[in-house]
Structure 1
């Protein structure tokens, strides 16, 4: 099978880019031919003045809008040149046999409150809502993939009844890269971060620090005096705000801001627990990576967390309440950390990227008509 994947960026890492990359690698391992169509492909096909202005002068907002519009036209042309190829679209472009829903902007804004104001003050949010309402209510794609059952309800609540059939296919997790650390790996990871055996460490990972719930995790430390918080990700201005919050809460000496990091497996190896008290997640891939690493997860009831986390077995589900999160910090900190490893790992043993890729292939094969090529 010849499969084209469409996304703004496809490459190793997290988010949409990393998920599309892992899926493509798994599809290739199954023997399929995989091509990528990304923003760089779309933009370099246009007139040079337009491309230069877009890439070098316009803001991220206009870049994203232009990729949705110009990228759609060029993606359709790209597919038309490959008759018989199937296509999986991950973001922005209005083309492809399957569209993978990686998140609903309006749902994320609603979860944080003041939805209308948040939508109106950012033109990209408003554009995305209108574009995706056309996508979901119409016939741009022949099928939609949601990452959890709960996300199907979100789609229907936000956009009304979704036109194409919706299938749930959870993300996979790299079970070779993410695995419980042996004692020597744990010691090396902790030494690198300046930690000793006495520290009980909670790990937070995310770039959108507010939406992912870092303020709650910081405030929770006031209720968990034995726990230190490692923070991976974030942008400079947001990190500065979180530092000030930690100082105000009187816990600045127990929050270590590491900024963006490439090798998350090392940070899981150094940690005793993982915390993600998000407002909203369409899935939450980092939750499955933590569990695969044998690290218990403390998370709010969003994304994949309610489907995977069993209280006391592989972590805890919590409300967005700092005191409750702090209590769970201390509860895990008081246990033998190694006893969590096999239970956490077992929770996601079935979520390989190979299995996810097999389900995508089965969905493509089940579609009732030939590939769309350039027609959609």
Structure 2
């Protein structure tokens, strides 16, 4: 998909297109397109196979290969396809997820599961050809944390690896009180109290369960605003009601732009269980929000952060006690919150999309000259 309400990978690709469109002839191929930008040509790909997803993935790969096999200087794919000189990786490879750490009979059983599953065979075959070294191929990683993962799963791809992390368009900084009040009104949030922001389309993977478990331990004036996939709200609303947290948790659904949510919030909690980078953390920093985030084992951006300098980092995101302690510290210590905010703004200023786009252009030029 190519729409702002998608996940981090979608917003990454959109931001890169917007940066490059002024200097290049950009064509976008996607099945769901909700985006318009000057200088960009859009090519909707039919979606005949809603389910099973793996058949649709094969169809998309075939359809885009056919339409891009000639007439383009560089084909850049953010999807699991076998074609494209530039392949950007946003998630842990399927091969790593399936096989990492398995030996002996456990490894044999896993391979038995794979060879008897057309879905897994399809994904692994696509992935194999996607990362197969070619003279004009470059594999771009969204974070440094993916380097050892790719080296383990696809060692032959190592010479082709480059890192282009996400960025922000600008660094708006801390909002004034009247702007915060207006943002809360627009989102239907309480005018008073301290707002802890949670952003993620996969509530469970991004750690909402742990955050909700922590909320009763926080001061009574604290509430949580949840931004992301509205289809998951029903599954968590019961836990909110059962825990007596009605009136302290506000589900906002998927927002076309998260800017108002950042303006309305006092901090960001991101106890994610798996994020190769976590653009939301960087975006929150650009708005001057102090952040509490999982360690680098779980969240790629944390490998670039320093505990108590530009973020509070929790070692185990499933540990409600640890998360509660860090949030309580943040909420109680104004000086700490201001330090994290100031240093977070400096960190965001060093990760602008305009600079990341220049890096991406260099990769395109290398691919073309190498050909």
Please say whether Structure 1 and Structure 2 have the same fold, judged by a TM-score greater than 0.5: yes
CA contact (8 A) 1:212 1:276 kept: yes
Distance 1:140 1:235, change over 3 A: farther
Equivalent residue for 1:73, pick from 66, 74, 80:
66
Deviations 1:17-36 (A, max 9, x none): 3211211221234x233222
Which residue number in structure 1 is paired with residue 80 of structure 2?
92
Q: Which moved more, 1:266-275 or 1:63-72?
A: 63-72
Query: What's the C-alpha RMSD, in Å, of the aligned pairs?
Result: 3.2
CA contact (8 A) 2:310 2:339 kept: no
SS of corresponding position for 1:275:
strand
CA contact (8 A) 1:20 1:90 kept: yes
Which residue number in structure 2 is paired with residue 136 of structure 1?
131
Distance 1:195 1:66, change over 3 A: same
Following superposition of structure 1 onto structure 2, how do residues 336-375 of structure 1 map, counting pairs within 5 Å? Answer: 336=334, 340-367=340-367, 369-371=369-371
Q: TM-score, normalised by structure 2?
A: 0.81
Deviations 1:4-52 (A, max 9, x none): xxxxx334455323211211221234x23322233477776xxxxxx5x
Structure 1 position 370, deviation (Å): 4.5
Q: TM-score, normalised by structure 1?
A: 0.80
Structure 1 position 163, deviation (Å): 5.5
Which residue number in structure 2 is paired with residue 5 of structure 1?
none
Distance 1:141 1:256, change over 3 A: farther
Q: Does 1:230 align with 2:225?
A: yes
Following superposition of structure 1 onto structure 2, how do residues 1-376 of structure 1 map, counting pairs within 5 Å? Answer: 9-13=1-5, 14-29=7-22, 31-39=23-31, 51=46, 54-55=47-48, 58-76=51-69, 80-82=70-72, 85-106=73-94, 127-139=122-134, 142-162=137-157, 164-175=159-170, 178-192=172-186, 193-197=188-192, 199-226=193-220, 227-236=222-231, 238-301=232-295, 302-318=298-314, 319-320=316-317, 321-336=319-334, 340-367=340-367, 369-371=369-371
Distance 1:351 1:110, change over 3 A: farther
Distance 1:43 1:169, change over 3 A: closer
SS of corresponding position for 1:257:
strand
Aligned residue pair count: 344
Cα distance in structure 1, aligned partners of 2:242 and 2:355: 46
CA contact (8 A) 1:108 1:279 kept: no
Distance 1:184 1:341, change over 3 A: farther
Cα distance in structure 2, aligned partners of 1:11 and 1:234: 13
Which structure exhibits the higher relative contact order, with contacts defined as CA atoms closer than 8 Å and separated by 6 or more residues?
1
CA contact (8 A) 1:105 1:128 kept: no
SS of corresponding position for 2:289:
coil
Structure 1 position 157, deviation (Å): 2.5
Deviations 1:295-317 (A, max 9, x none): 11111123333234322233211
SS of corresponding position for 2:126:
helix
Distance 1:64 1:223, change over 3 A: same
Cα distance in structure 2, aligned partners of 1:269 and 1:239: 22
Structure 1 position 140, deviation (Å): 8.6
Cα distance in structure 2, aligned partners of 1:293 and 1:361: 27
Cα distance in structure 1, aligned partners of 2:368 and 2:189: 57
Q: Where does the alignment leave 5 or more consecutive residues of structure 2 unmatched?
A: 33-41, 101-105
